[in-house]
Amino acid sequence: MTNILAFDLGASSGRAILGRLVDGKIEVEELHRFPNDPVQVGNRLHWDILRLYHEIKQGLLKAKHRGIELQSMAIDSWAVDFGFIGKNGELTGNPYHYRDPHTEGAMESVFSIVPADVIFSKTGIQFQPFNTIFQLHALKQANSPMLLEGGRLLMIPDLLRYFLTGNMHNEFSNATTTQLFNPALGDWDDELLAKLDFPRSWFSDVLKPGTEAGMLQASVCEELGVPSIPVYAVAEHDTGSAVAAVPATDKSFAYLSCGTWSLIGTEVNQPVIHELAQTMNFTNEGGVAGTYRLLKNIMGLWILQECRREWEREGKSYSFPELVQLAGEVNPLSVFIDPDDSLFLPTGDMPARIKQYCQRTGQQAPESTGEIVRCILESLALKYRYAFEWTEKLSGQSMSGLHMVGGGIQNTLLCQWTANAIGKTVWAGPSEGSAIGNLIVQWIAQGEFSDVWEARKAIRDSFPMTVYEPEESKAWKDAYDRFCVLTGIEI
């Protein structure tokens, strides 16, 4: 029996998941769970990176106190955000949160130096205002003290790995999300870096998922009273880990990693980089075993999470199951939003913004809590159909259904409505996709599985999957037509 640890850090919480292989079956156990709350300081929104590091140490301590002998560990998290390590080996500033507004105007400024089509042709990454390329440009324009001479850029898992091991590396799946990595070259794009005046010295060597990135350093082992173990670079972008854990049987499959963000796409051997992919703002992010994830980012359950926070501020506390129940009690397919409208990106009063969007598009704004929740979930399901169909077109594949993984699959209404919207089967599971993907890449590196497909079979054999068949097809087809007109999306 092997025991390994996956630290899976999401945009709202983190967890330490213990993984065991027992007779070829995967067993997982949550050892430690903790909030990941951003911190507002003045006008800036930061990640509390040292708190996250502290919680990782708590996870190691909990394994120790249980008498669990660990063989290895790895970390995955969200993408695009980073910290800088100065020449003295110390963090130069608290990492900014991708929802911080310091990147306002950065995209246009970058495009005045390097045109958008050139950037896409080099990187294959969709344009989002918070991408690393725009964050770095904004910091340079502001003469940020974070960018000290001789500094090294480390993405969030890279940074935490550095704290643990003392080694500085960039991992492939997260490096691709920076919009500075060239998949044709298999390395950072020196021409792009030079044009934007980003020193090459900021960037480290790029490790493939499954590479041993170092050992727990002596100071950590001494502090915690634990033995040194290998720390692996897995697919450290959590979506990369989630896709690795999709229990597909067919090499042509569609996935939806459903959580704070929704990411829908397919796995391809080569990035799809052409004008239509750029026009549709699809992205090509690194995956495991040299694959790429052709996908579309959708705002996801962030909108519902932020509504819930606003209601709590007003003194109305709802659990997520209660919100789903309220949504099921109101009239269906009445009012829609485009989840990816820029109105919904920042923190704030999300119910008011939903009403504002509906008024702007000539719809009767939802009033009750249930109506607002139903509007969000149905709109997400309809946007999933849009992204699903474009995934098929851009990849040249026809998909028999959609694999949903991640915490969002606990929302059974969303799963059923997604099946209704796409008109095809939805297979939901596992819910801890990112953590399980993290675990299997460690096991592949250790020779426990021969490749990701053997690991995917073990996942199918180890975790239950719920199947949703489409219902009410005409109502949902009519709703999709109205949704496309109201939101103005291109079909």
Catalytic residues: 238
b/e code 192-219 from CB counts within 10 Å (16+ = b): bbeebebeeebbbebbbbbbbbbbbbee
Residue 66: φ, ψ to 5° = -85, -5
Residue 333: φ, ψ to 5° = 50, 50
Place of tokens 């500075």: 180
Cis peptide before 339 (omega within 30 of 0): no
Q: Partners of 6 in the beta sheet?
A: 17, 74
Cis peptide before 129 (omega within 30 of 0): no
Phi-psi region of 98 (alpha: psi -120 to 50; beta: other; left: phi over 0): alpha
DSSP 41-71: ETTEEE--HHHHHHHHHHHHHHHHHTT---S
CA dist., res. 16 & res. 438, Å (int): 11
CA distances from 316 to 86, 139, 308, 313, 354 (A): 45, 39, 9, 7, 18
Pairing state of beta strands 206-207 and 187-188?
unpaired
User: How far is the first Cα of the chain from the last one, in angstroms, to the nearest whole number?
Assistant: 51
82: Cα separation from own chain's centroid: 14
Q: Is the CB of residue 352 less than 8 Å from the CB of residue 311?
A: no
Residue 24: φ, ψ to 5° = 80, -5
Tokens of 262: 């929704």
344 secondary structure, DSSP code:
G
Task: Give the HSE-up count for residue 483: Cα atoms under 13 Å, Cβ half-sphere.
Answer: 26
Q: Which amino acid is at 199?
A: P
SS3 assignment, position 343: helix
Q: Partners of 83 in the beta sheet?
A: 154
Name the CA radius of gyration of the chain, rounded: 22
Tokens of 211: 């590479």
Nearby residues of 368 by Cβ (< 8 Å), 6 or more positions away: 326, 330
Residue 217: φ, ψ to 5° = -75, 160
